[in-house]
Chain A
Amino acid sequence: MKHFAALFAALDETNKTNEKVNAIKAYFLTVSDADKMHMLALFSGRKPKRQINSTLVKNYAIELANIPVWLFEESYQVVGDLAETISLLLPESSQTSNKSLTEWIAEINALNKLDETERKLWLIESWASLTRQERFVFNKLLTSSFRVGVSQSLVVKALADISKLDAPTLTHRIMGSWDPEVYTFTQLMEEQGALDDLSRPYPFFLAYPIQETSEKQKSPEEMQTALGNANEWQAEWKWDGIRAQLIHRKGEIFIWSRGEDLATEKFPELHPFIQALPDGTVLDGELLTFRDEQPLPFNLLQTRIGRKNLTKKILEENPVAFIAYDCLEVGGEDIRTKTQTERREILEQLQRDTSFSTIFRVSPLIDFSSWEELAGIRKNSREMVAEGIMLKRKNATYQVGRKRGDWWKWKIDPLSVDAVMIYAQKGHGRRADLYTDYTFAVWDGDRLVPFAKAYSGLTDQEIGKVDAFVKRNTLEKFGPVRTVKPELVFEIGFEGINQSSRHKSGIALRFPRILRWRHDKKKEEADTLESLKSLL
Chain B
Amino acid sequence: MAKQLLQFTDNGIFCAEGNFYIDPWRPVDDAVLTHAHADHARTGSKRYLAHELSREILRYRLGADISLQTIPYGETVYKNGVQISLFPAGHIIGSAQARVEYQGEVWVVSGDYKVEDDGISTPFEPVPCHHFISECTFGMPVYQWKPQQLIFNEINRWWEKNIEEGKATIIAGYSLGKAQRILCNLDLSLGTVFTHGVIENTNDALRRNGIDLPKTVRINPEIPKEEIKKGIVLLPPSAVGSNWMRKLAPFEFGFCSGWMNVRGAKKRRAADRGFVLSDHADWDGLISAIDATGCESVYLTHGYTASFSRYLREIGFDAHEVHTLYGGDESEGEIPSEDLGSGSGDEAGTKKTGVKEASAENETITTFGEAKANQPESL
Contact = CB atoms under 8 A, between A and B. Distances in A.
Interface in A60-111: 65, 67-68, 70-71, 74-75, 78-81, 84-85, 88-89
A78 B142 contact: yes
Interface stretch (B183-191, B196-204, B361-369): B361-369
Contact of B142 (A12, A79, A464, A472): A79
B262 interface: yes
A12 B266 contact: yes
B357 A79 contact: no
B10 interface: no
B283 to A, nearest CB: 10
Interface stretch (A161-169, A205-213, A265-273, A424-432): A424-432
A468 interface: yes
A236 interface: no
A75 B142 contact: yes
B263 A81 contact: yes
Nearest to A475: B364
Interface of A: 12-16, 65, 67-68, 70-71, 74-75, 78-81, 84-85, 88-89, 149, 428-434, 460-461, 464-465, 468, 471-474
B308 to A, nearest CB: 9
B264 A471 contact: no
A12 B263 contact: yes
Prevailing SS type, chain A contact patch: helix
B45 interface: no
For the complex of A and B, the 7 pairs showing the least CB-CB separation, nearest first, are A432-B264, A464-B335, A430-B267, A88-B142, A468-B357, A75-B142, A74-B307
B272 A13 contact: yes
B333 to A, nearest CB: 11
B347 interface: no
Interface string B318-344: 000000000000000011100000000
B257 to A, nearest CB: 13
B270 A474 contact: no
B268 interface: yes
Given A14-B272, A429-B267, 20 more contacts: A13-B274, A67-B311, A71-B141, A71-B311, A78-B142, A78-B304, A81-B263, A81-B264, A88-B141, A89-B142, A430-B264, A432-B263, A433-B262, A464-B336, A465-B335, A471-B362, A471-B363, A472-B364, A474-B363, A474-B364
Given A78-B142, A79-B262, A88-B261, A430 B272 contact: no
22 contacts: A15-B270, A71-B140, A78-B140, A78-B142, A78-B304, A80-B264, A81-B264, A88-B141, A88-B262, A428-B264, A429-B264, A430-B267, A432-B264, A433-B265, A434-B268, A460-B336, A461-B335, A464-B336, A468-B357, A471-B363, A472-B363, A472-B366
B189 to A, nearest CB: 25
Contact-residue bracket for chain B: 20 to 34
Contact of B311 (A68, A85, A474): A68
B361 A464 contact: no
B94 to A, nearest CB: 30
Nearest to B144: A88
Contacts of B268: 430-431, 434, 460
Nearest to B365: A472
B164 interface: no
B262 A78 contact: yes
B264 A79 contact: yes
A67 B310 CA distance: 12
Contacts of A65: 141
B130 interface: no
Contacts of B365: 472
B141 A464 contact: no
Nearest to B272: A14
Most chain A CB atoms below 10 A, which of B262, B266, B334: B262
B226 interface: no
B273 interface: yes
A468 B311 CA distance: 25
Nearest to B274: A13
Contacts of A89: 141-142
Contacts of A468: 357
Nearest to A430: B267
A83 to B, nearest CB: 10
A12 B265 CA distance: 12
A347 B263 CA distance: 48
A433 B264 contact: yes
Nearest to A428: B264
Contact of A432 (B265, B357, B363, B369): B265
Contacts of B65: none
Given A67-B141, A68-B311, A461-B335, A472 B362 contact: yes
A302 B266 CA distance: 36
Contact of B369 (A16, A71, A88, A472): A472
B314 interface: yes
Given A68-B311, A88-B142, A461 B272 contact: no
